[in-house]
Amino acid sequence: MSDRRFAVIGHPIGHTMSPFIHKRLFELAGLKGDYSVLDIAPEELPAKMELLNALDGYNITIPNKQRIIPFLDALDRRAELYGSVNTVKNGEIRTGYTTDPAGFLKALSSAGIPLSGDVVIAGCGGAARIFAFEAALAGCRLTIAARPESAEKQQALALELRQKLGAEKVSCCLLSEVEGEHDLFVNGTPLGMFPNTEGMAISARALSGFANVFDAVYNPLETVLIKTARANGSRVCGGMPMLVWQAVAAHEIWDGTVYSVGDIEQLTEDSAEEMKRKF
């Protein structure tokens, strides 16, 4: 099995933690697998498919998560529901999966944060869409909060949740309108991400009304949002656990590997240190 080959594709893809995380996961499982980084722009995909099909599996990041789908033979249920793929397993059938939902749910669980009750999700792009679908599937009372310029996209997401899932407890508001007491705030926007680290999706006053806070941003490890929420006494979770757990889900798909929670918690800590060292 030493000649097995895997990769992550995206564009641009210079600042990726994937090789570090996936190589460690192979080591933890006692398996061998070469894991490389391939910078592939969307327009290059057709010409690169022979290369990708020769791999045992690969991960996909922005901007190819939707564009890869026409080149695959099948999708799993979640990938079909989201119209997004971040993991491919090659073989007689080239199958696309999305492990982001599993990463999100595992990250919340590891932090002791329930996905239940009254949930506000900031944003309506790719990450926020995953969070919104999972919250709706869990039966949460869901509010999608966005900026005025995203109103059309925001309403389209709410309509999709109602049509695909029959979700009735879905509403929309502006980020500036978030107020009151809630169970969980989920930041699905890039606000607060390096190098513009001072931003927060909602005000500190509004944030004080949340019992739990999840921020998908993992660079920096502790965003202003997370620091503010912790100071408020909220239970918090940053984006690094989700990044690691979605990679774990990919290895479960490729090899059926089962990892201990302790090993993954240690890998999350090590990944955080590696990111600080590298980036």
What residues are annotated to the active site?
65
Residue 58 β-bridge partners: 7, 88
Positive or negative: CA dihedral 183, 188, 189, 190: positive
Q: Are strands 141-146 and 87-89 parallel, antiparallel or unpaired?
A: unpaired
Q: How far is the C-alpha of 35 from the C-alpha of 21, rounded, in Å?
A: 10
Question: Residue 214: enclosing H or E segment and its boundaries?
Answer: strand 210-215
Q: How far is the C-alpha of 19 from the C-alpha of 156, rounded, in Å?
A: 35
> Amino acid identity of 235?
R
DSSP string, 142-165: EEEEE-GGGHHHHHHHHHHHHHHH
Task: Tell me, rounded to whole angstroms, the distance of Cα 225 from its chain centroid.
Answer: 18
